[in-house]
A and B are shown apart, each in its own frame.
Chain A
Amino acid sequence: MIKWSDFENGVVNQLRRDIRSQSNPDQNRAIQAPLNQSLFVVAGPGSGKTTVIALRVLKLIFVDDIDPSSILVTTFTRKAATELRSRILGWGDQLRRSFIANRSYRHIKNQLRIEFNRIITGTLDSIAEETLGDYRAPGTPPPIVIENFVSNALMIRVGLFKHRRHNNQHLRDYIARLRGTSWGLNISEMSLTLREIKDRFYHDVINISQFRNNSNHPGVSVLCDAIDDHIQELGNRLLFDFARLEEDFLARLRDGTLNRFLQSIKFVLVDEYQDTNLLQEQIYFEIARTALGSGGSITVVGDDDQSLYRFRGATVDLFQAVQTRINNQLAVNQTIVYLSQNYRSTPAIVDFCNAFITLDREYQSVRVQNKPPITSARFHFTNYPLLGMFRGTVTQLAQDLSQFIHRVIHGGGLQVGDHQANQYLIEIDSQHGTPADIALLLSSPREFDAQQRPRLPLLLRNELGQLSPSIRVFNPRGQGLETIAGVQALCGLILQCLDPNSTVQSSLNLPPAVINIFDIWRVKANTYINSNPPPTTPRSLRQFVNAWLRRTPLNRRAWEREIPLIDLVYKLVTWMPVMQNDIEHLVYLEAITRTINQAGLFGNFGGQIIFDQNNPNLEQVSIREALWNIFVPIATGAIEINEELLETLPSDRINIMSIHQAKGLEFPLVIVDVGSDFRTNHPRHAFKRFPRNGGKTCNMEDELRPYSHLGPPQRNPLDRAFDDLIRLYFEAYSRAQDALLLIGLSTVSDRIPNVATGWDRNADWHWGNGLHNLIHI
């Protein structure tokens, strides 16, 4: 439809992206490749991957004239899918307008009425869910995908409590063996491990009967029975978890019921392929087989150095061997394209990342062969030296780090000099800069450790809050929902209304930790009631709660038979302005009401409390169900907030997040915590810095993979653990655009072995004692 040269000109002139071969040969090759050319794109960090994918899709539409609905692009997260889709829609419209304005294309004006929205983009799960719904047979329901906590509750109920499997010693022994310890092996942890194994059954396409029959551990058959019961229960309730959704999708692709969908696809592009698993690979190959048969192609994009999700079942080997696997199974040769120009980071940061990823000799053997180093293409920005801040205690570290951040934001900046005596000023842009230009990345953003001791994120938040002007932080995963003051008061008020004397609570065999949290909530609720919050007329909060306590109607003639718990929540919010007005608290309120709603999926009362004069026992039973299904999950930290709902949060706060959360993001100043938790060389946290064994994830791989077509892993568990740690910190360091600051305790800068500070697995310390490759501040 449109000549390539006109398309290229449009991209360069309208979109301001220079993709000409003389300026950017790699991107040019990837975008210009013909429709039937399958590609293997190895895209280093910051290499303009989204740009390349969006422009390749637009090239297929404008130049090769293919129908947008025949293009399927999967991304790893919904956020990435939204961004990619927005790029395609926005740029697509800009290009279309420019072509319509071009006289040579006036005659095809109607053809240029392209509906870019029909491109299929999304995560594999969202595409599976939508496709299974769209192409379902009469009488069959669209899939209903549940949240983790619902799946977890069902696993506890039918997997563990049924036949009292939670007390089965064989099962407990087996799970302890996989975890490497029996420490902390409570019901919740057992359920978590069972669900991880169940997911691996699906992801690695395990032959379960072989696994059951061949294993000589007596716990295995109990485990398989528990998982069978869980799967059965999901089926009975028409529910799907993500693993089951993908398995069903594959089955339907193979049995012919999705042929109409398959036949519509000509081009398949899979992003973040390094984090794919065998089940997903089979799905992609099924779709690609039809696409190739229709003259189309498959493109996979990824970077093995950024593979982070082994613990969720990802198998990076599938990426490294993709060309061979596609050749063997689909009989097609993929052309390899390396995107190695990095548009994100300064030369200093790029050099640092290159040095880091190559310092461990053992690691080089598992990288994609012949991969070129990344090269910086970020010009016209200050090339700050790499920085380090190491202190004797975490408290001191938090104080000094907060001072540093404060100076960068409000204090005129911080002057630093490099080894060549060049001077640099680190400060945010005086006109448009905000605290959101800064991110602190850690292995975990939690504010407390397992022993409830404060960690750096909490200490830093407190320090920043005390400065003048104070600086707020954005750390949605820092605190458990159950520890947030507003949530504690609200949950406590609900408990006080439903079960004022803890009668029902006492009749349950609740874990002591849960009882403790319930008690804290009730205390918080009473304190809140005592504060006599407005409105105090015509009825105060105390009068409202007392009416519930006495089961006496207030402003009503009679007590109702069924009372939706959500109705009680909204009424209580009348006295909690923070829940009505504050964006973050509204998100917490959503999490509570969502839990109530979802608990209805596996309970008998649908989130209602029943007061039946003919059957008074129903009151106790329905309250008991509410405590178990709603408040225990909240108290045990099983409920996650929906971070997407925080989109309107002001940008007046610095970001604190895990390295995993930072995937795909970039910030002008990135602070990476390489060791604020490591006071000693203790084995307990060795897996976070210098592993001594493969840990639970590798144990599971070794246990299950012999029963998969993948076969046992080629690499030993310890090496896999080191490989993953190297990838994790490569990901962290490569998020920085202008400045990168490594922080930790002095112990990690002067003695404790740590992959993140330049140790290789043979215990050679390449950066050396004192970390003199950094400028210390």
Chain B
Amino acid sequence: MSLSVREAPYKIPEYSLTGDLLAYLTCGLQYRYYNRGSLPPSTPVQLWFGEFIHSVMEEAYLEWQHNPSRKQFPWSWDPEIRDIELRINRRLRARGLNAQPWLFCPYDSSFTQQGWCPDGNHPHQLIASQRAREAINTWGSHLFPLIEEAEVRLKGIQDMPNYLSGISRCNYYGITGVVDVISYVNLQHAPSGNLILHRIHINSELQQTISNLATPEYEIVIDYKGMRRPDIVDPTWQHHEWQILTYAWLRRQQPQSRNVVAGIIFYLNELALSQEDMKALQNNVRHKTTDIMPQGLDLRNIQNWRENTVPPLLSRPFREERSMRIVIVAHNRMQSSLQEFDNVVRNIESCVYSETVGQSIISAWLSNPVVRNCTACDFKTFCPNPAPGPYHPTVP
């Protein structure tokens, strides 16, 4: 009789909704390098701003919750919001995340030198600060009173798709996510004049769902995105819906959950558009590829805007409407989202398997050539299939 065979340790592979599943959908090869390989981006603009805006919103909520003088809105940018920003920036710096000079001014008024900024007149209200200010003052008064829990970790397990004993790594996979906010609404004590509830309650499909509830209470899962509202033809539009529906499903697995009826995604860049965002919006309007179209003056301002000029200030209602997206939660929609992510897990597991049997990384993981992603990708100079064409290393 020969030696026995070593058993692999029992380990359920865990997939984060954003860090794994959405990242893989962007590009398999990029996901292998950045996410599975833990390679840091060379210019982490999106990473910095995402962390910044989430932390600012969380911290603002904590201040609203614990400090009676913060119950009234709007908050002043300096010092009320600025103090939060500086605290968050310090934390991000401590983690090695530094803001780009055009994104955020890191100095207070006591600093008289120019530093990274265009002049020494600090603090500058750059784009990250504009968005933070708008996010708090637009949504804080409506959102904070509805918050039941912030930064809620959600976890679940699913059967491994196409499980094959001896081949698959495990018979299950884990799915995890951190939902920014769980909102709780008790219809008998719902605050009046709340814009979020108003938008929920004027939605006819949701009206129907809510009126059929056994108890007069429900939950909404909320996710902040430090980005603009995607085009409806962009796969990201669909991916965000799958994500929020999966959050809803995970939340429903928790015994303390109560009637999750909707998800809301806040696209916070819509509150203060950069030139790049404006360019994309103009393009969407031109091709009618966005679900919230401008009217009147907003439409004219967008159509007449010229590149490399300051974006026009669009009307508050238009910005509010574009920054908020409601996703209706229903059993069949959740199931189809789970099915979509099952497919992603199946694909990832297949790539992992290819690596374990000796395939090279580039042949095991497929790239997804999309110009917008490729131009910002650190690996484009050696990616076998970048869009729009080959990229060559530059100096510097």
Contact = CB atoms under 8 A, between A and B. Distances in A.
Which of B93, B352, B393 has the most chain A CB atoms inside 10 A of its CB?
A: B393
A239 B39 contact: no
The majority secondary structure among interface residues of chain B is: loop
Contacts of A606: 93, 96, 98
Contacts of B3: 382, 408, 426-429, 433, 437, 668-669, 738-739
Nearest to B8: A651
Contact of A583 (B62, B66, B93, B361): B361
B6 interface: yes
A239 B94 contact: yes
Interface string A404-426: 00001000010000000000011
Interface stretch (B117-125, B167-175, B279-287): B167-175
Given A433-B5, A601-B94, A90 B12 contact: yes
Contacts of A432: 5, 166
Contacts of B33: 586
A738 to B, nearest CB: 5
Given A87-B10, A428-B3, A594 B38 contact: yes
Interface in B1-55: 1-6, 9-12, 33, 36-43
B255 interface: yes
A538 B37 contact: no
Interface residues of A, number: 95
B155 interface: yes
Contact of A429 (B2, B59, B155, B170): B2
Contact of B6 (A86, A437, A539, A554): A437
B2 A427 contact: yes
Contact of B356 (A437, A650, A739): A650
Given A117-B155, A141-B91, A580-B382, A600 B98 contact: yes
B360 A652 contact: no
A560 B394 CA distance: 11
Contacts of A564: 42-43
Contacts of B101: 562
Interface in B287-319: none
Interface residues of B, number: 63
Nearest to B394: A555
Given A437-B6, A570-B42, A544 B90 contact: no
Interface in A658-682: 666-669
B395 A598 contact: no
A86 B11 contact: yes
A241 B11 CA distance: 28
Nearest to A598: B96
B4 to A, nearest CB: 5
B391 to A, nearest CB: 9
A568 B42 CA distance: 9
B2 A89 contact: no
Given A586-B361, A650-B356, A570 B396 contact: no
Given A413-B2, A600-B98, A594 B40 contact: yes
A16 interface: no
Interface stretch (A153-161, A182-190, A348-356, A545-553): A545-553
B39 A590 contact: yes
A573 interface: yes
Contacts of A138: 59, 62-63, 65-67
A573 to B, nearest CB: 6
A480 B339 CA distance: 45
24 contacts: A90-B157, A113-B253, A115-B156, A118-B155, A139-B59, A141-B94, A425-B2, A427-B2, A429-B4, A437-B6, A548-B396, A553-B395, A553-B396, A554-B394, A555-B392, A556-B396, A563-B396, A566-B40, A566-B41, A571-B381, A572-B393, A586-B33, A596-B40, A648-B356
Given A382-B1, A601-B95, A645-B37, 16 more contacts: A86-B170, A89-B12, A90-B170, A93-B172, A138-B65, A564-B42, A568-B396, A573-B382, A580-B361, A582-B360, A586-B39, A593-B40, A648-B356, A650-B356, A668-B5, A737-B6
